[in-house]
A and B are shown apart, each in its own frame.
Chain A
Amino acid sequence: MPSSALTAAHPLKDVAASDSALRRFLHGLPGVDAVGLEGRAASLGTRSIKTTAKAYAIDLAISMVDLTTLEGADTPGKVRALGAKAVKPDPTDRTTPSTAAVCVYPDMVAVAKEAVAGSGVKVASVATAFPAGRAALDVKLADVRDAVAAGADEIDMVIDRGAFLSGRYLKVYDEITAVKEACGTSARLKVIFETGELSTYDNIRRASWLGMLAGADFIKTSTGKVAVNATPANTLLMLEAVRDFRAQTGIQVGVKPAGGIRTSKDAIKFLVLVNETAGEDWLDNHWFRFGASSLLNDLLMQRQKLATGRYSGPDYVTVD
């Protein structure tokens, strides 16, 4: 049997002993008041980040980007270009940090790996029949094994939202633990909930705990393929979950909002959420990531503006 991150001695190890035990635990978590949650996220969005704090935040945000291409039309050339950009995001300023990772489909992992070789930039891959997740478990596991074998450092898996919404939490749990095992010791596992489809904040909190109990190294909002992706409120909620999970288990789990974060201003608001909710232990690309493709160029333009005092324009940063 696959094993979760919790050791045999841990007080929470029995919560997944049966479907009903798991349901009782997840439904026993404190509720989420939507008005209050969104109000708190909005009030943290009014923090004014200027000058040195802004420069720090922009560099931090760049270092947290999972530079992503997830298109049917992806080619080796496209992935190589993306890899080059991840390593040196701004060729005109070598002090610009690299991004955290490039994120590609499993068949592009080997190409991506070569493109970022020696740079420290990780290769993440969306396995498990991304983005719908509607495939048999052995197909999903084969997808994961392929990506890991090709050298993926990180696996982004989608959960079975159908199973979750119909209350079959143990099925979701077992799938995550199986994928975690397929990741082996070399790849970290990011678990994607597709929060837009889970619909309620209570569901997002339960999914967060479910993912962490099953051994997720990261919990991630969404695929970027549905109407509602990362929001300040759902990310704040997930940050509360990882904070509380560490307080109870000692295990630290990362958070990755994905989809819809396009401007530096938005990214900085998310960093404020991290800083004031989970705390500075998460202000590092080992524990927090942005799943984004168009965010990086805005961060680079803002960075150039801070350095030169002038706005450049889209032709002063690379298209990819």
Chain B
Amino acid sequence: MAPVFEYAPAPESRAIADIAPSYGLFIDGEFVEAADGKVFKTVSPSTEEVLSEIARAGSEDVDRAVKAARRAFEKWSALPGAERAKYLFRIARIIQERSRELAVLETLDNGKPIKETRDADLPLVAAHFFYYAGWADKLDHAGYGANPRPLGVAGQVIPWNFPLLMLAWKIAPALATGNTVVLKPAETTPLSALFFADICRQAGLPKGVVNILPGYGDAGAALIAHPDVNKVAFTGSTAVGKEIARTVAGTRKKVTLELGGKGANIVFDDAPIDQAVEGIVNGIFFNQGQVCCAGSRLLVQESIQEELLESLKRRLSTLRLGDPLDKNTDIGAINSEEQLTRITSLVEQGEAEGAERWSPACELPESGYWFAPTLFTNVTQAHTVARDEIFGPVLSVLTFRTPDEAVAKANNTPYGLSAGIWTEKGSRILAVANKLRAGVVWSNTFNKFDPTSPFGGYKESGFGREGGRHGLEAYLDV
């Protein structure tokens, strides 16, 4: 009898990321204390260890930062595009050079596996800066007329699930088009944005072009409401998105919102089963399911339900959960205690409503915030777990009989961010994709990103597009 092939732990060294005991706000090219002296702590979700103490921005700091960005805007927007491109290319290269450090940092602060920060997040972050650097001197040819003008100061609020990637999505197009930026990272994951502030200094970026204000929702609200902010960009929950829409209604601010989702992953009976299983796993367990475009509703054709679920369960049993700094870890920690509580309560509600819960045998670490990969079967459209965004490693499995039924169920949601189609039949991919009300439709793959392709939602998943040529429009006066 062969002994089991136990992989020895292969942790990445955390010494690569040199985290200071405290950080200030980054305003006008300098790290400064908050005006009211407030601070908060950021912890590592996998160990609950305090990583650093961070200055907490208040409305006075927001005002200071917006004023700095306004002053910087005059010079920055007047630079030729090719000059702005040089700075962006330089930032992109520094990100590549420091990618190992940033990957470790992001894993410590967010809880996601190093495998994902190293192989997905950081390459995409650099790619976004490279991509928009390329656009900076070609704005005349972007399809928005000759010499399109920047908007001014962009107030940007980003979430904790992809801290550095969301920063790149926001800052790269803003700078390429000549805007200046005040960005508020999420309170649970401020570190990579502060390291990015250091990268801006390393790149010699003029003072005030990028300002970083770690803080809570009050700082975000003050930023969005600030009268001298011309453009609001937000990624986060639908509830907050609605508040923002109310705040900016009637002002001249331009706004893009990238909100929640409840993506349908549709598997037809002629699908490549083994690859579909991988796509389902990638769709909902990537970043512990804390992905707005996660494929959290599996719609499987009834005729192959049994076979597919068996394969899926077998595959889930091979997922490795644990220390996110271990290079062999597939599933890391949930970002915060608050999020863990939300996931737990929604899953309990799913059970109470009669859906069948399943998880592989899986030992959870004692400290930190953890949730085992979970499947719900016997789910119907009427179940909460099929309607509400859980934002965790929880997959709801529903069935359908015909392509029309699949489309109807996939669209029967207040959201519309992403969807997936699995079939070997090309004509079916095109026919179904055309009927799905979702900003992104992946076929025979899931959760694939590229700076050149636009991303955004329908319905309560928000409006506006980020990425690609379309992503420029949100930062130009067109």
Please report A residues at the B interface, Cβ cutoff 8 Å.
30-33, 35-37, 39-40, 46-54, 56-57, 60, 240, 271-272, 275-276, 280, 283-284
Contact present for A33 and B5 (CB under 8 Å): no
**CB-nearest residue of chain B to A281:** B2
Query: In the complex the two chains form, what is the Cα distance from A48 to B2 in whole Å?
Result: 21
- Enumerate 19 A-B pairs (CB-CB under 8 Å) in ascending A order: A31-B270, A35-B444, A35-B445, A37-B275, A40-B278, A46-B115, A46-B119, A47-B7, A47-B328, A49-B7, A49-B10, A50-B9, A50-B10, A52-B6, A53-B6, A53-B7, A56-B5, A56-B6, A276-B318
Q: What A residues does B476 contact at CB under 8 A?
A: none
Q: What B residues does A52 contact at CB under 8 A?
A: 6, 8
A142 → B minimal CB distance (Å):
37
Q: What B residues does A47 contact at CB under 8 A?
A: 7, 327-328
Query: In the complex the two chains form, what is the Cα distance from A184 to B448 in whole Å?
Result: 51
- 17 further A-B pairs in the complex, CB-CB below 8 A; given A36-B275, A36-B278, A283-B5: A30-B273, A30-B274, A31-B271, A32-B275, A33-B444, A33-B445, A35-B275, A36-B279, A36-B444, A37-B275, A40-B274, A40-B278, A47-B7, A48-B327, A52-B6, A53-B6, A56-B6
Q: Does B250 contact A (CB under 8 A)?
A: no
Please report B residues at the A interface, Cβ cutoff 8 Å.
2-10, 115, 119, 270-275, 278-279, 318, 327-328, 424, 444-445
A242 → B minimal CB distance (Å):
13
Q: What B residues does A57 contact at CB under 8 A?
A: 5
B44 → A minimal CB distance (Å):
21
Query: In the complex the two chains form, what is the Cα distance from A86 to B346 in whole Å?
Result: 59
Determine which residue in B272, B273, B278, B327 has the highest number of CB atoms from chain A within 10 A of its CB, and name it.
B272
Checking A37, A272, A283 against B274 with a beta-carbon cut-off of 8 angstroms, the contacting residue is A37
Determine which residue in A31, A40, A57 has the highest number of CB atoms from chain B within 10 A of its CB, and name it.
A31
Contact present for B8 and A36 (CB under 8 Å): no
Contact present for B272 and A31 (CB under 8 Å): yes
Q: What B residues does A32 contact at CB under 8 A?
A: 272, 274-275
Contact present for A280 and B5 (CB under 8 Å): yes
Known: A35-B445, A36-B445, A48-B327. A280 touches B275 (CB 8 A): no
Determine which residue in A48, A276, A280, A284 has the highest number of CB atoms from chain B within 10 A of its CB, and name it.
A48
Query: In the complex the two chains form, what is the Cα distance from A283 to B445 in whole Å?
Result: 30
Contact present for A48 and B10 (CB under 8 Å): yes
Known: A52-B8, A53-B5, A276-B318. A30 touches B272 (CB 8 A): yes
Contact present for A240 and B274 (CB under 8 Å): yes
Question: Nearest 8 pairs between A and B by C-beta?
Answer: A36-B275, A48-B10, A33-B275, A48-B327, A33-B272, A31-B424, A30-B273, A53-B8
Q: What B residues does A54 contact at CB under 8 A?
A: 8
**CB-nearest residue of chain B to A55:** B8
Known: A36-B444, A46-B119, A47-B328. A271 touches B5 (CB 8 A): yes
Determine which residue in A30, A32, A60, A271 has the highest number of CB atoms from chain B within 10 A of its CB, and name it.
A30
Contact present for A280 and B2 (CB under 8 Å): yes
Contact present for B327 and A36 (CB under 8 Å): no
Q: What B residues does A30 contact at CB under 8 A?
A: 270-274
Q: What A residues does B115 contact at CB under 8 A?
A: 46
Query: In the complex the two chains form, what is the Cα distance from A277 to B251 in whole Å?
Result: 57
Contact present for B328 and A48 (CB under 8 Å): yes
Q: What A residues does B318 contact at CB under 8 A?
A: 276
Query: In the complex the two chains form, what is the Cα distance from A52 to B273 in whole Å?
Result: 35
A290 → B minimal CB distance (Å):
15
Query: In the complex the two chains form, what is the Cα distance from A33 to B277 in whole Å?
Result: 12
Q: What B residues does A275 contact at CB under 8 A?
A: 5
**CB-nearest residue of chain B to A44:** B318
Query: In the complex the two chains form, what is the Cα distance from A30 to B273 in whole Å?
Result: 6
Q: What B residues does A276 contact at CB under 8 A?
A: 318
Query: In the complex the two chains form, what is the Cα distance from A46 to B6 in whole Å?
Result: 16
Query: In the complex the two chains form, what is the Cα distance from A209 to B446 in whole Å?
Result: 28
Q: What A residues does B275 contact at CB under 8 A?
A: 32-33, 35-37, 40
B276 → A minimal CB distance (Å):
8
Q: What A residues does B6 contact at CB under 8 A?
A: 52-53, 56
Q: What B residues does A240 contact at CB under 8 A?
A: 274
Q: What A residues does B444 contact at CB under 8 A?
A: 33, 35-36
Q: What B residues does A40 contact at CB under 8 A?
A: 274-275, 278
B266 → A minimal CB distance (Å):
15
Query: In the complex the two chains form, what is the Cα distance from A276 to B277 in whole Å?
Result: 14
**CB-nearest residue of chain B to A275:** B5
**CB-nearest residue of chain A to B114:** A48
Query: In the complex the two chains form, what is the Cα distance from A49 to B320 in whole Å?
Result: 14
Q: What B residues does A37 contact at CB under 8 A?
A: 274-275
Query: In the complex the two chains form, what is the Cα distance from A30 to B115 in whole Å?
Result: 30
Determine which residue in B4, B5, B115 has the highest number of CB atoms from chain A within 10 A of its CB, and name it.
B5
**CB-nearest residue of chain A to B5:** A275
Query: In the complex the two chains form, what is the Cα distance from A276 to B330 in whole Å?
Result: 13
Query: In the complex the two chains form, what is the Cα distance from A53 to B275 in whole Å?
Result: 28
Q: What A residues does B8 contact at CB under 8 A?
A: 49-54
B445 → A minimal CB distance (Å):
7
Contact present for A39 and B5 (CB under 8 Å): no
Q: What B residues does A60 contact at CB under 8 A?
A: 2, 5
B372 → A minimal CB distance (Å):
18
A159 → B minimal CB distance (Å):
23
Query: In the complex the two chains form, what is the Cα distance from A89 to B285 in whole Å?
Result: 44
**CB-nearest residue of chain A to B6:** A53
**CB-nearest residue of chain A to B10:** A48
Query: In the complex the two chains form, what is the Cα distance from A276 to B327 in whole Å?
Result: 16
Query: In the complex the two chains form, what is the Cα distance from A99 to B445 in whole Å?
Result: 40
Contact present for A36 and B5 (CB under 8 Å): no
Q: What B residues does A272 contact at CB under 8 A?
A: 5
Query: In the complex the two chains form, what is the Cα distance from A240 to B318 in whole Å?
Result: 14
Q: What A residues does B274 contact at CB under 8 A?
A: 30, 32, 36-37, 40, 240
Query: In the complex the two chains form, what is the Cα distance from A57 to B4 in whole Å?
Result: 11
**CB-nearest residue of chain A to B311:** A244
Q: What B residues does A284 contact at CB under 8 A?
A: 2
Checking B2, B3, B272, B328 against A36 with a beta-carbon cut-off of 8 angstroms, the contacting residue is B272
